[in-house]
Amino acid sequence: MSNTSPHNPPVTVAAQPFDYCFDVTTTALVIIDMQRDFIEPGGFGESLGNDVSLLSAIVPACQKVLAAWRRAGGVVVHTREAHEADLSDCPPAKRDRGNPGLRIGDVGPMGRILVKGEPGNQIIAELAPLASEIIIDKPGKGAFYATALHTTLQQLNVTHLIFMGVTTEVCVQTSMREANDRGYDSLLLVDCTESYFPQFKAATIAMTHAQGGIVGWTSTSESLLSALTP
């Protein structure tokens, strides 16, 4: 895959394990599952027994990156972990492994848990998608499994992906690994991703850029923003 286009200067971000270079026209910002179900009380995250207040701390940094990326004219992809109302795309194994008291498809304080169209399934207002942006509803943890994401990115000639979102070791990491196997060069912004388990976040960051970037690169929103507006 080409790293640069003749018409756009490459952007270089200070990153681990080494600088990450991309061209805005062939790069997408991928925002994983910043939906009410994970970030606000009463959704899937809390139904699993997690303290969801940890996750909202990344919202301001995500907003800054999203605003800068929109100004730069880059492709934006928002994903949601979302199932059909009849749960035909939710394997019993996935549903059964939730908290027996409140599972995917059950009615919670924000509507049916992880079901398309329900209030809890909406992207949080602070990061609301524009009409021109891509929304991918995904039944799995990874954004590529059983979705049109790869085809859509190929049609747009996207080769590089910059990741934000939740949770770091579940849907973000799974999506980055799927992207890696499909040939994308991926960057994870460490202050724009969060986990219910700080030790899992730290381990995920370390294992992403280990071994020469075995999954991809990691950096910060500040490094990306200063590279976009030198």
Side-chain-facing half-sphere of 82: CA atoms under 13 Å: 22
Which pair of tokens denotes residue 167?
């949770």
Separate counts of helices (H) and strands (E) for the chain? 8, 10
Concerning whether 171 is annotated as a catalytic residue, the answer is yes
**CB of residue 55 vs ligand TIU: minimum separation in angstroms?**
9
Binds ligand TIU by CB under 6 A, chosen from 171, 187, 192, 205 = 171
- Residue 67: name the closest of 157, 151, 133 by CA: 133
Question: What Å distances lie between residue 71 and 108, 159, 175, CA to CA?
Answer: 37, 20, 25
Binds ligand TIU by CB under 6 A, chosen from 38, 69, 184, 217 = 38
**CB of residue 165 vs ligand TIU: minimum separation in angstroms?**
7
**CB of residue 191 vs ligand TIU: minimum separation in angstroms?**
17
227 binds ligand TIU (CB under 6 A): no
**CB of residue 170 vs ligand TIU: minimum separation in angstroms?**
3
* Cα–Cα distance, 213 to 16 (Å, whole number): 8
191 binds ligand TIU (CB under 6 A): no
**CB of residue 96 vs ligand TIU: minimum separation in angstroms?**
14
Binds ligand TIU by CB under 6 A, chosen from 23, 46, 81, 137 = 81
> Which region among 16-24, 51-59, 165-173, 181-189 touches ligand TIU (by CB under 6 A)?
165-173
Concerning whether 138 is annotated as a catalytic residue, the answer is yes
Site for ligand TIU in 39-78 (CB under 6 A): 48
178 binds ligand TIU (CB under 6 A): no
Distance of CA 48 to the CA centre of its chain: 20
Phi-psi group of 135: left, alpha or beta (phi > 0 → left; psi -120 to 50 → alpha; rest → beta): beta
Concerning whether 33 is annotated as a catalytic residue, the answer is yes
H or E element that contains 203: helix 198-213
Identify the three-state secondary structure at position 5.
strand
* Cα–Cα distance, 173 to 207 (Å, whole number): 10
> Which region among 84-92, 121-129, 162-170, 208-216 touches ligand TIU (by CB under 6 A)?
162-170
Q: Which amino acid is at 28?
A: A
14 touches 83 (CB < 8 A): no
Interface characters, 113-152, with ligand TIU (x: CB under 6 A)? ----------------------------x-----------
> Which region among 62-70, 93-101, 156-164, 167-175 touches ligand TIU (by CB under 6 A)?
167-175
211 touches 217 (CB < 8 A): no
- Point out the residues that are catalytic: 33, 138, 171
